[in-house]
Amino acid sequence: MFSKACEYGIKASIFIALNSLEHRRVGPKEISKEINSPEAFTAKILQALVRNNIINSIKGAHGGFEIDKKDIKTIMLADIVNAIDGDNIYKGCGLGLQQCNADKPCPMHEKFKLVRAELKNLLESTDLESLALDIKLGESFLKN
Amino acid sequence: MFSKACEYGIKASIFIALNSLEHRRVGPKEISKEINSPEAFTAKILQALVRNNIINSIKGAHGGFEIDKKDIKTIMLADIVNAIDGDNIYKGCGLGLQQCNADKPCPMHEKFKLVRAELKNLLESTDLESLALDIKLGESFLKN
DNA sequence: AACAAAGAGGACAATTTTGTCCGAATTAAA
DNA sequence: TTTAATTCGGACAAAATTGTCCTCTTTGTT
Ligand code: FES
Ligand code: FES
């Protein structure tokens, strides 16, 4: 469904949000440990999230990654997916036609667009804060 | 969403079904032309579909690929996806946890399982015949 | 029997994705 | 001002996916 990079990006963002709610900065080492991902690769993805203004980085000693507290509830999963995997999952044809076009649809178009719309709605309506709070309450987990 | 191999496999199966309804066998050359896919790679995927008993192949002169007419309405998209991409899209965790487990769910679990169920339903309830007939009626297309 | 027209299968190549490493730049603290 | 902790960026490596090519086998036709 999502690329590995995107999965790591989402989980990392949630973990950073969780910590930012408690004014803690975290680095790639701690993040990759908590989300069970390769450290160096995760660091690359964090860089991409920084470039896309989803998370902030503070360089130097006592640095790390954080998210402005006020932004945590306005950052949606869709923002992260878009930054890493692009918008193909929202807009692309399920059978890989060059463009999904209702005027010249692929055989799956009518049914597929419903699934795609539901996925889009999920991603656009889910914010980082609610996901972080679920973790905090022990109702969900970032690794198993 | 699906791998390229799976996209080609679905489109090829629909095209073969369409022709089998009219008692025509088709080969990789014609198939790849009609679904706009690389010929040799498509041939590989066709082999896999044969091994999975989704399509039949007839070797030798006047050979080609076909689907038993009586099977066309009972072969579901899910069968093809399963044969090529496996069942991860139905059963796997959206955030890549080793297993989707409601007792130790990832943060997306509750919402994601709904999308996944809808996708599963789509694939399990859509048969090759209906897709082939749509093409025949000019209501959908295998390339653009 | 010989030939031609197919699919089967294995080896290989290109591309993309995933992952690693290391040096440079930045910053706080001693 | 030195040092240590940290992110940044580029080069590199490994693995998976996508794609190509060539030979073998099978089978209908002559
Ligand atoms: S054309 Fe394929 S999903 Fe719309
Ligand atoms: S645990 Fe992630 S989708 Fe179920």
For residue A51, the model assigns a pLDDT of 98
Residues within a 7 A CB radius of strand C: A 3-5, 8, 37-41, 43-44, 58-63; B 25-29, 40, 43-44, 46-47, 50-51, 57-65
- Provide the pLDDT confidence category of residue A16 given band limits of 50, 70 and 90: very high
Distance CA A50, CA B95 (A): 21
Give the per-residue pLDDT at A1. 95
Q: Tell me: the pLDDT tens digits for B81-100?
A: 999 999 999 999 999 999 99
Report the pLDDT value the prediction gives residue A100, as an integer from 0 to 100: 97
| Contact between A11 and B95 using a beta-carbon 8 Å cutoff | yes
Q: Tell me the H-state helices in chain B.
A: 4-20, 28-35, 39-51, 77-85, 88-91, 109-125, 128-136
- Give the predicted TM-score (pTM) of the model: 0.95
- Mean pLDDT, residues A123-143 taken together: 98
List the beta bridge partners of residue A58: A64
pLDDT exceeding 90 applies to what percent of chain A? 99
3-class SS at B17? helix
pLDDT tier for residue A126 given thresholds of 50, 70 and 90: very high
pLDDT tens digits for range A19-78: 999 999 999 999 999 999 999 999 999 999 999 999 999 999 999 999 999 999 999 999
Q: What is the pLDDT of residue B14?
A: 98
Please provide the average confidence, as pLDDT, over all residues in chain A.
97
pLDDT at B71: 97
Mean pLDDT over A87-107 rounds to 97
The whole-number pLDDT of residue A134 equals 98
Q: Establish whether residue B93 lines the binding site of ligand 2, counting it when its CB lies within 6 angstroms of any ligand atom.
A: yes
Mean pLDDT of B34-61: 98
Taking the Cβ of residue B140 and every Cβ of chain A, the question of whether any pair is shorter than 8 Å is answered with yes
pLDDT of residue B100: 97
Location of structure tokens 């006020």 = A70
Query: Domains (ranges, CATH) in chain B?
Result: 4-83+127-136 (1.10.10.10)
With contacts defined as CB-CB under 8 Å, which chain A residues touch B118? 114-115, 118
Q: Who contacts B20 (Cβ-Cβ below 8 Å, separation ≥6)?
A: B66, B67, B68, B69, B72
What distances in angstroms separate CA A139 from CA A7, A15, B107, B109, one per listed residue? 19, 14, 8, 11
pLDDT of A127 reads: 98
| Cα–ligand 2 centroid distance for B2 (angstroms) | 19
